[in-house]
Structure 1
Amino acid sequence: METAADLAASRGALGIGLGAAALVVVALLIGMFAFGSRRTRNGSRRPRPEEQPRMPAGGPVREVREQREPDEVPRSDERMTPHELNGHGNAGSRTGAAQERPRWDEGSSGSFGSGGPGSH
């Protein structure tokens, strides 16, 4: 049977061991941070003026707004994989016939559950 002094001594040794392990981990983390920052500082240089991005010859690129229509999924009894569908380079949609933006119906609340009667 262990005495109280033996238990205290073993717990003290365990505490010292855990403390030493924690100090080793902290020292490794600090060393890796210093190594990484030194590598970044020495390894990368700033781009020269001729390496900077340039504006396209036609001027800045503008946003294009258009209404898109989805492609229909072909009906088949067999399972199809994605590359068997219409043009895997295609985005899966095409420019729509009507280019007006859809608007809310007059008298509609415009939001589900807003408390208004909506259009019935």
Structure 2
Amino acid sequence: MSTASTQLAAASGLMSLVLFVVAMAVLGILAGGFWLTSRVKYRESPRPRPEEQPKLPPEGPVHEVRENRESQEVPVPPEGGRPLTPYQLSNQDTRPSASKERPRWSRGSSGSFGGGGLGAH
């Protein structure tokens, strides 16, 4: 131990008192947090009773629907005109596709960006 730390440790217990006060402050903050959380939880609406839980529709569970969807075409600006800005484009919705054939990835590609495959060579 250095001389300075010895003098601090041997001081009139002021360092111990400061650490005790800091510890009590931390405990007070934790206790206040628990108290505040319990007040907030007490004000929440009660949990739903079993008879208030959602029920299955009369026709039974809903099943998955598989369909191919295609997006709308992006409008092409007129020749020599200004490029389109984002606010000139509408939401690009999708619609059901007339084709029933499922799209497949090309052979040898990973199927997604960054999928780790070698890609099409």
Quickly name the TM-score band, shorter chain normalised.
Answer: 0.5 to 0.7
8 A contact 2:109–2:118 mirrored in 1: no
Matched ranges for 1:34-73 at <5 A: 34-37=35-38, 39-40=40-41, 43-73=44-74
User: What percentage of residue pairs aligned between the two structures are identical?
Assistant: 43
- Does the alignment pair 1:113 with 2:110? no
- Structure-2-length-normalised TM-score: 0.57
- Structure-1-length-normalised TM-score: 0.58
1:43 to 1:94, Cα distance in 2 relative to 1, 3 A: closer
Deviations 1:19-73 (A, max 9, x none): 4223312322133224423652574423234422122233212212212112222
5+ long unaligned stretches in structure 2: 111-116
- Does the alignment pair 1:28 with 2:25? no
Aligned positions, number: 106
Alignment RMSD (CA, Å):
3.7
SS of equivalent to 2:25: helix
One-letter identity of the residue aligned with 2:118:
G
SS of equivalent to 1:99: coil
5+ long unaligned stretches in structure 1: none
